[in-house]
Amino acid sequence: MIDTLNPRTPPSTTATPFSDYRDLDARTLEEIITSVKDRLGRSLLVLGHHYQQDEVIRHADLTGDSLKLSQLAGRNRVCQAIVFCGVHFMAETADILSAPEVSVHLPDRAAGCSMADMADVESVETAWAELAQHLDVDQITPVTYINSSAALKSFCGRHGGIVCTSSNARKILDWALGRRPRVLFFPDQHLGRNTAKAMGIALDRMAVWDPREPLGGNTGASIQDHQILLWKGHCSVHQMFKPGHIDQFRRLEPSGKVLVHPECMMEVVDAADLVGSTEFIINTIDQAEPCSSWGVGTELHLVNRLAKRHPDKSIRFLSPMVCMCSTMYRIDPPHLAWCLANLERGTPINRIQVDAETARWARVALDRMLELG
Ligand code: 13P
Ligand code: SF4
């Protein structure tokens, strides 16, 4: 095992193309991935989000939800490269939080997040300028869900705002409202609404901000009454879970419990027994009594893995539809093998690098979150 990224093979300048890996059989890909990982040793850190497919997550050195993965990327003082098995905003966050000499790579650059794409910095800047015509924007805290571009995190850093994840949203909203009376929350309206409601904020104190409408679809008078402005964005995977699916589960499993992710719509969260991040969902099922029964509303690969890992418990996917995150699924063994092999050859591919000015302010917003614990 070597602890450096310097390749043993003669230096080369051209990366091997993805087509060299695309059609390899599963065993060969497995051999490439494990042997490169062995040779690179601790100079390489493979991080994996819980929604990754089994064939990929088993190669992750560390796994977690978005908060845990951010903390892990920030804390590592040993590796020289991080290969992020997740989506683009996670790799960007790892680049911002990791040491400057660490490079971060996403095995498939097209692994984005459709929710993150629902708010771009130009639309948020426009919303901010429109709000400034009716309200004192120094009295609004911008809060971005971590599922957002580095540019939006940077916007929050510059405007006294903060980042949140699904596991700390309540703590972050508490902090934000303790400083200023209003919050502009983007891009996930559901996480924002579910969190604010759980804090006791009435629904009529929240308004949706539709970026395609003037003043977000609000009026100058109505905007004065609202404490929380919720960007009209959502996760297309979690949007598929409906309250009727919970009714159906309860008919089949009257003593079963329903556990969902807070990106689900309010009616689903209200009807569930427990709500939390992917890490919370895993811990809850791990610690559940044998023979207990669960209906789980989150991405399919994670639910299937939990069901396999706990044959003594009944674990059902809450929706009759296939709700999988197609962008997470883009990270597959051929892309992982391609990425690792080129890293070892000294011809790294798909480096995710946030420009210094964006990273500086995004880091301010991320550090505010991380300091809250
Ligand atoms: P977690 O932070 O709970 O893992 O959620 C990330 C995500 O993208 C869920 O859709
Ligand atoms: Fe984005 Fe939804 Fe996929 Fe999570 S599950 S990465 S929010 S599209």
Q: Which bound ligand lies closest to the C-alpha atom of 279?
A: 1
Does residue 317 sit in helix, strand or coil?
strand
CATH number of the structural domain 2-112+328-354:
3.40.50.10800
* pLDDT tens, per residue, the chain with 373 residues: 334 565 455 556 899 999 999 999 999 999 999 999 999 999 999 999 999 999 999 999 999 999 999 999 999 989 999 999 999 999 999 999 999 999 999 999 999 999 999 999 999 999 999 999 999 999 999 999 999 999 999 999 999 999 999 999 999 999 999 999 999 999 999 999 999 999 999 999 999 999 999 999 999 999 999 999 999 999 999 999 999 999 999 999 999 999 999 999 999 999 999 999 999 999 999 999 999 999 999 999 999 999 999 999 999 999 988 889 999 999 999 999 999 999 999 999 999 999 999 999 999 999 999 999 7
Q: Which of 190, 325, 330 to mutate to test the pocket of ligand 2 (most atoms within 8 A of CB)?
A: 325
Nearest ligand by distance to the CA of 237: 2
Note the ligand closest to the C-alpha atom of 187. 2
Architecture of domain 238-317: 3-Layer(aba) Sandwich (3.40)
DSSP letter for each residue of 225-242: G-SEEEES---TTGGG--
Q: Looking at ligand 2, which residue's alpha carbon is closest to its atom 7? A: 235
Minimum CA distance residue for ligand 2 atom 3: 325
**Side-chain-facing half-sphere of 90: CA atoms under 13 Å:** 36
Which of the four CATH numbers 3.10.20.30, 3.40.50.10800, 3.40.50.40, 2.40.37.20 does domain 116-235 have?
3.40.50.10800
Taking CA atoms only, the protein residue closest to ligand 1 atom 8 is 147
Mutual angle of helices 121-132 and 150-158, in 10-degree steps: 30
Predicted TM-score (pTM) of this structure: 0.95
Amino acid at 103: S
CA of 66 to the centre of ligand 1 (A): 6
Residues within a 6 A CB radius of ligand 1: 50, 65-66, 147, 165-166, 235, 261, 263, 277-278
- Residue nearest ligand 2's atom 5 by CA: 325
What does the block give as tokens for 344?
Answer: 């070892």
277 CA: nearest ligand 1 atom: 3
Could you give the residue range(s) of every CATH 3.40.50.10800 domain in the chain? 2-112+328-354, 116-235, 238-317
Helices (H), the chain: 19-22, 26-40, 54-57, 66-75, 88-97, 121-132, 150-158, 169-179, 189-198, 243-252, 266-271, 278-287, 300-309, 333-345, 356-371
| 299 touches ligand 2 (CB under 6 Å) | yes
